[in-house]
Chains A and B, each alone.
Chain A
Amino acid sequence: MRRTKKFTALVMAAAMALTLAGCSDSGTASTTAANTEKAASAETTAAGTAAAETTAAAAMWPEKDVTVIVPASAGGGTDIFARAVTDYLQRSTGKTFTVVNVDAGSGMVGFEQCRNAKPDGSTIMFWHTGFYVTNASGQYEHNPNTAFSPLVMFRGEGDDAKQVFVVKGDSPINNMNDLIEAAKAAPGTITYGCSVGGSAQLVAEMIMQAGDVDIRLVDAASQTDKITGVAGGNITVSAITYGGAVQYVESGDLKIIGVVDKEGTDEYQSASEQGLENCYWTQELCVFGPAGLDEDLCKAINEVFAGMNDDETLINTLTTSKMLKKALDYDASMSVFADYEKTVGEAASKVDWN
């Protein structure tokens, strides 16, 4: 008698739970509809066809809550940018966007989570163009353009987004050629801090090839590691963001000897401008989705992101945090994605990654 009572109780509990589940889903659905309507009516007050297109895109995506994977730890450059943009997305579409940091395994667990997610637009990933190097070096076996759906490419505005080579403030090395001379004069003593298998290593290999010299690669994973290592005199040279380096240069802890990007800044010449051939790298942030996303959906996602270029609040936030970037439209994005795959493939093939 007791057993059947327990069983009936369990069944009733399950039944009530099911009803709960059913209620919550329909609840979300109705709020979603209301939000889309609000978003749509807000849009019509803005100018012309552009607004109508954005509305159509926003109606197509997102349909439900979106998970934004950031394969890096909270507080870092990629993470902050992702959070700022996600905040904009949530404001403009009215849907819930949840940022999830999955920094385990140098980001690889995050990559896999995105790659294995359902291709229905509910999961996207913020990462950067170093992805192509991680693939080309053999560290990650899946190609970003085929195993994922590239969605949006960002372009950094201004100098802050560039990367620069830094040495210790009181180092005798003043420019890239000095560095190469020093490496030739005392082989094995010059160390370059980077995380293995990524874009930073590719840049180091480029320098070694252009200068025909050997530099020891040592491990420095985060920007903090690099700054502490170089400023503390334990690593000779490393590459960090210009925005991050400026303060340390002013305080005398670090010195900039060259710019990693193709074009230098007003003050500093780039490595290629200083004579190192084919020695440049531009790290851009971008957004991927799992493979198999419908092309129309991809275009719609890109459209929704494109709205951020006109959003005053986001532009203010990004400018104050020195990471202003523009979202490129779909065609421009796709061509940049393809470019990276090609150039990285070529450069990486000349490197012995072992």
Chain B
Amino acid sequence: MSKVKKDYLVGGILTLMGVAAALMSMQVRVKTGSTDPGSRLFPMLASVSLILCGIGVLASAAKSQEKTFLSGEGWKRIGISFGILILYILLLKYIGFLISTPVFLFAVTGMLAGEKKVAVWGRMVYSLVITGLTWYTFVKVLSMPLPKGVIF
């Protein structure tokens, strides 16, 4: 199976995105009797531009250079990072800042340390201290609310 040039894929995706956007734009309500063109015009213009650009990319795909973006390991790491970040948001929503953040910080320090050996107790102290400092500064000093959580 021959390797498809990336730009063909990109062009295709862009065109599809443009078509999807155009379809959604057509559902936008236009108020009658207003003095301006209505809210459908702008997204339609943008969608059509996107479709045209997608086609343009497809057309010039033959000349494009192939650049490798990420290795397989790289994609795996992206997956892991997104996983942790999404988990953090969920934790924040249900448990609140004070508990989720030390856990998050602990996990991320481990993740970013990679192969390096970092003392577990160092990470724990760091996670708790940073959480406490941040909470104090934002909530007490600046009066800016932090996520409260549904359960707690």
Contact = CB atoms under 8 A, between A and B. Distances in A.
Majority secondary structure, B binding face: helix
B35 A216 contact: yes
A17 B99 contact: yes
Nearest to B132: A20
A334 interface: no
Interface string B79-100: 0000000000000000010110
Contacts of B114: none
A256 B145 CA distance: 43
A219 B39 CA distance: 13
B128 interface: yes
Interface residues of A, number: 26
Given A9-B120, A24-B135, A354 B31 contact: yes
Contacts of A13: 102-103, 106, 124, 127-128
B9 to A, nearest CB: 35
B12 to A, nearest CB: 34
A254 to B, nearest CB: 23
Interface in A192-216: 196, 216
B33 interface: yes
Interface in B94-152: 96, 98-99, 101-103, 106, 110, 120-121, 123-124, 127-128, 131-132, 135, 143-145, 152
Contacts of B35: 216-218
B15 to A, nearest CB: 31
Nearest to A191: B35
A274 interface: no
A100 B127 CA distance: 28
Nearest to B36: A219
B68 interface: no
Interface of B: 31-36, 96, 98-99, 101-103, 106, 110, 120-121, 123-124, 127-128, 131-132, 135, 143-145, 152
14 contacts: A9-B106, A12-B124, A13-B103, A13-B127, A14-B102, A17-B99, A20-B128, A20-B132, A21-B152, A24-B98, A67-B145, A98-B145, A216-B35, A217-B34
Interface of A: 5-6, 9-10, 12-14, 16-18, 20-21, 24, 65, 67, 96-98, 100, 196, 216-219, 352, 354
